[in-house]
Amino acid sequence: MTLRAIRILKKADVVFYDRLVNPEILKYVVRAKKVFVGKSAGESSKQQWINRALYREAKKGKTVVRLKNGDPMVFGRGGEELEYLRTRGIEVEVIPGLTSAIAVPGLERIPLTHRKLSSSLTIVSGRGVGGSVPRWKSLGDTVVILMPIENLSSVVRRLLSSGKRKQTPCALISKGSRIDRKIIVSDLQHVVDFSRTVGISPPAVLVVGEVVRSLLDWRGRRVAAFRCRSEVRRTKKLIKAAGGRPMVFEVCKTIPAQENLAKAASQRWDTLVFMSANGVRSAADFFELSKYRVIAVGGRTREELLKHGATKILVPEVHGVAGVQKLLKNGRFGRVLAFRSPLAKRKIRGAVNLVAYHVKLTRPERAVKEYLRSGSDFTILTSAGLLELVLKSVGKASPKLVRKMNESFVISLGREVTKAALRSEIWVNYEAEKPCLKTLFSLR
Ligand SMILES: C[S@@+](CC[C@H](N)C(=O)[O-])C[C@H]1O[C@@H](n2cnc3c(N)ncnc32)[C@H](O)[C@@H]1O
């Protein structure tokens, strides 16, 4: 707010205020009568009533304030009210505010223009007269959409048909500046699905353009992850290579499930399925991997398989259990053995599921304590099972851990991890398309 707005609010006789006006601001109204005139969507007939009421009070010679959120002249009907009053001979002063279109992205540290990325900015509405998406003409490098939620899929379709690429990054920010503010970062092809999964509610702004990528800039930032012993070194290395400051905490180690593996190795299999590098390492002493056709989930698993001599490797297009199942259903793979984690949530249909290793906790309380003490800018959640294990193992400290995670920008490596996080009330800000840290850290 400007100082002028505060001064006028203090001396007003009547204040007509909207739904989105922050109650904190009403504290400046010390003597005036406060009249709530907030409209719900589709209640536009109320506007005539508001116009008349403003006129009536002003005509009595009172100082009337029409208090709106953001800037009154940006999608706020300021122009219509001004016109109504001026044509009836009422003096009107406009006191500009901070429009949510600019202030909300700013609070999230998203630059709307940037010398290298964006030299133009367009602010549009996602809701036109009658409720449909307006036909915007040419769009700038950065586009900010107000009222985007109600028509989100149509808004995205229109952005795409207006020339934006489906990989264009975007951020959806709900309740900016408030204590319950939420933000998700995605791209145009995934934002609708992701926003439905996490559940974003209005008021929100959608920011579209390369400038949003700055939210995934690791340089100089603290990047935390809870990992199995075998992955700690590699994770640190990847974070460092991306310019981040690694805070990688070991919380468990894996031990090959020797009995299971020995028994399975004595049988005939045509295809082996590996969901993680841990599975590969556990199986490597029991199976001659070059002899089998192998299905690998994710680039990291494939890397580990190559190290252990596998050659006939297939990587499903879709990640996770769903991708493997789809592949198995559509091909001829004979007898299939899937090496699984004891923390796995879903079985793979069409394969024998074998617990390939045991997970032993290595004092996660210590790791959590350190994380709580130092905090982080990013928290990367790599596995649903591991997340649940860590939360369970710290018992009473788990609400604190959840709170601390929510203070950082939380990244999940896939839908299953996102769902597990949401079940534990951890808000996910970004969901990686592939469960692969290497791809994640090459995003910028
Ligand atoms: C009717 S428009 C009013 C815009 C207002 N005049 C301005 O300049 O911000 C209401 C829209 O503003 C945006 N908005 C207002 N407050 C917001 C907030 N705190 N966080 C996110 N979006 C907000 C949302 O897009 C919402 O649907």
pLDDT in tens, 332-348: 899 999 999 998 888 99
Give the position, in ligand 1's atom list, of the atom nearest the Cα of 175. 20
Pairing verdict, β 222-228 and 378-381: parallel
For residues 242 and 233, give the distance between their C-alpha atoms in angstroms, rounded to a whole number. Answer: 14
**293 CB-side CA count, 13 A:** 12
Q: How far is the CA of 145 from the centre of ligand 1 (A)?
A: 10
Residue-level pLDDT at 189? 97
Residue of 258, 261, 184, 252 whose CA lies nearest to 216: 184
For residues 172 and 167, give the distance between their C-alpha atoms in angstroms, rounded to a whole number. Answer: 15
pLDDT at 435 over 60: yes
- Average of pLDDT values for 363-369? 90
- Average of pLDDT values for 224-242? 95
b/e sequence 10-21, b meaning 16+ C-beta within 10 Å: eebebbbbbeeb
What the block records as the tokens of 252 is 């468990």
pLDDT in tens, 373-422: 988 999 999 999 899 999 998 888 899 999 999 999 999 998 989 999 99
Q: How far is the CA of 209 from the centre of ligand 1 (A)?
A: 19
Give the position, in ligand 1's atom list, of the atom nearest the Cα of 127. 27
Q: Which amino acid is at 70?
A: G
Residue-level pLDDT at 203? 96
For residues 90 and 19, give the distance between their C-alpha atoms in angstroms, rounded to a whole number. Answer: 25
Residue-level pLDDT at 39? 77
Q: How far is the CA of 99 from the centre of ligand 1 (A)?
A: 7
Residue among 66, 67, 75, 102 to mutate when testing ligand 1 (max atoms within 8 A of CB): 75
249, 226 contact by CB (below 8 A): yes
Place of tokens 């009172």: 62
Residues framing ligand 1 (Cβ under 6 A) = 20, 68-71, 74-76, 99-101, 104, 146-147, 173, 175-177, 202-205
* Active-site pick, 68, 141, 147, 182: 147
User: Using CA positions, which residue lies closest to atom 12 of ligand 1?
Assistant: 146
More confident: 94 or 319: 94
Residue among 69, 112, 149 to mutate when testing ligand 1 (max atoms within 8 A of CB): 69
Q: How far is the CA of 275 from the centre of ligand 1 (A)?
A: 44
pLDDT at 444 over 60: no
pLDDT in tens, 84-124: 999 999 999 999 999 999 999 999 999 999 999 999 999 99
Average pLDDT of the chain is 94
Residue-level pLDDT at 186? 97
Give the position, in ligand 1's atom list, of the atom nearest the Cα of 145. 25
User: Using CA positions, which residue lies closest to atom 7 of ligand 1?
Assistant: 70
Other beta carbons less than 10 A from residue 104's beta carbon: 26
Question: What number of helices (H) and strands (E) belong to the chain?
Answer: 17, 19
Other beta carbons less than 10 A from residue 251's beta carbon: 25
For residues 276 and 302, give the distance between their C-alpha atoms in angstroms, rounded to a whole number. Answer: 9
420, 400 contact by CB (below 8 A): no
Q: How far is the CA of 124 from the centre of ligand 1 (A)?
A: 12
Q: How far is the CA of 440 from the centre of ligand 1 (A)?
A: 32
Q: How far is the CA of 69 from the centre of ligand 1 (A)?
A: 7
Residue-level pLDDT at 130? 83
Strand partners, 314: 295
Residue-level pLDDT at 44? 62
* Active-site pick, 1, 39, 369, 438: 39
Which DSSP string do the residues of 256-313 spell out, in sequence order? Answer: E-HHHHHHHHTS--SEEEESSHHHHHHHTTTS-GGGSEEEESSHHHHHHHHHTT--EE
- Average of pLDDT values for 209-234? 95
What the block records as the tokens of 401 is 């851990």
27 part of the active site:
no
Residue of 316, 317, 256 whose CA lies nearest to 281: 256
Residue-level pLDDT at 436? 84
Give the position, in ligand 1's atom list, of the atom nearest the Cα of 78. 6
Q: Which helix (H) or strand (E) holds 361?
A: strand 357-361
User: Using CA positions, which residue lies closest to atom 27 of ligand 1?
Assistant: 147
The pTM (predicted TM-score) of the whole model is 0.91
Residue among 1, 39, 146 to mutate when testing ligand 1 (max atoms within 8 A of CB): 146
Give the position, in ligand 1's atom list, of the atom nearest the Cα of 146. 25
Q: How far is the CA of 103 from the centre of ligand 1 (A)?
A: 10
Q: How far is the CA of 160 from the centre of ligand 1 (A)?
A: 23
193 part of the active site:
no
141 part of the active site:
no
Report percent pLDDT > 90 for the chain: 84
